Structure 1
Amino acid sequence: MVQAAAVAPVPVPVSTEVYQRLQHFYARQMQSSDDLDVPAWAGSFTEDGVFATNAFPEPITGRAAIAAHCDRAFAAQAAAGIVRRHVMTMLTAEHAAGDGERIHTRSYVMVLETRRGQKPTIYCSTLCEDVLVPVDGGWQVVRREVRRDDL
């Protein structure tokens, strides 16, 4: 007897209303990073949230560790007179069957960088994949995977 292959759950796109709420969440989150607002940016992750990227040797786990990393990175950026702007495009958002209330998103994020007295340049181009959960009428990131295209 031939055994049937396992079928992967089919993702279901979120509603237009949820998609709009996600757009607002990401606009506020990206702007908090650009504004060097550590409490707001780190606060957009769950207490046990994970930030993983191919730019770091290991993922950063936990909101406190994410905040500590951002404190150092944002301070260095400010001291160097660097302004960064995150430009998010091509956002997709789906419910994954069997994954409760979690939302899976995928987007492209271009990071522009301007040094004092210079023209803006592209710092990096990335693919960002998140798992989000609803919290108090908003969203928090459970896990973020950022893949820089240049690495």
Structure 2
Amino acid sequence: MTVTEQVPATATAELYFQVQQFYAHQMQLLDSGRVREWAETFTEDGVFAANAHPEPAVGRAGITTAAQAATDAYAAKGIQRRHWLGMVTVEPRGEDAAFGRCYAVVVETPKGGQAAIRVSTLCEDTLVRENGRWLVQHRQITRDDL
């Protein structure tokens, strides 16, 4: 086996930048409570799967419902959540698709309290470009503690 067979395809600087910008925008939407707009960053038939949930949320409507319930529960407890993504890798999968992989740390800050890391996760996405914008077709979140 040659070295090039062992190493996945590398993203161009432009693709890497686009995915980084996409992730930053997407997480800021969720953390600011703009759930419907966040769900619009998934394809119409998108999937949000996590090892912390018994079943994946499927489709924008399902993803919106699940995310809104979680967002409302944290707001009711006075908790601000922030998602911090790092160690991002991007592999091109054709002209309009890519595989994104990153570590995501979720920080929770109760009103008047100290910020604390809540969970550490691995995020793996199948991304597709539709009408010039990146969308998540399938997201798998794996919490490190489960």
Which TM-score applies when normalising by structure 1?
Answer: 0.89
Task: Identify unmatched segments of 5+ residues in structure 1.
Answer: 1-7
Note if 1:102 corresponds to 2:97: yes
Q: Letter of the aligned partner of 1:141 in structure 2?
A: V
Note if 1:77 corresponds to 2:74: yes
Aligned counterparts of 2:68 and 2:22: Cα–Cα separation in 1: 21
Note if 1:25 corresponds to 2:9: no
Aligned counterparts of 1:106 and 1:57: Cα–Cα separation in 2: 22
Shift in Å at residue 18 of structure 1?
1.1
Match of 2:119 in 1: 124
Shift in Å at residue 59 of structure 1?
1.1
Note if 1:67 corresponds to 2:64: yes
Q: Letter of the aligned partner of 1:50 in structure 2?
A: V
Aligned counterparts of 2:61 and 2:95: Cα–Cα separation in 1: 26
Match of 2:130 in 1: 135
Note if 1:57 corresponds to 2:54: yes
Q: Letter of the aligned partner of 1:127 in structure 2?
A: L
Shift in Å at residue 100 of structure 1?
6.0
Task: Identify unmatched segments of 5+ residues in structure 2.
Answer: none
Task: State the identity as a percent.
Answer: 47
Shift in Å at residue 122 of structure 1?
0.5
- How many residues end up aligned between the 2 structures? 142
RMSD over aligned CA atoms reads 1.6
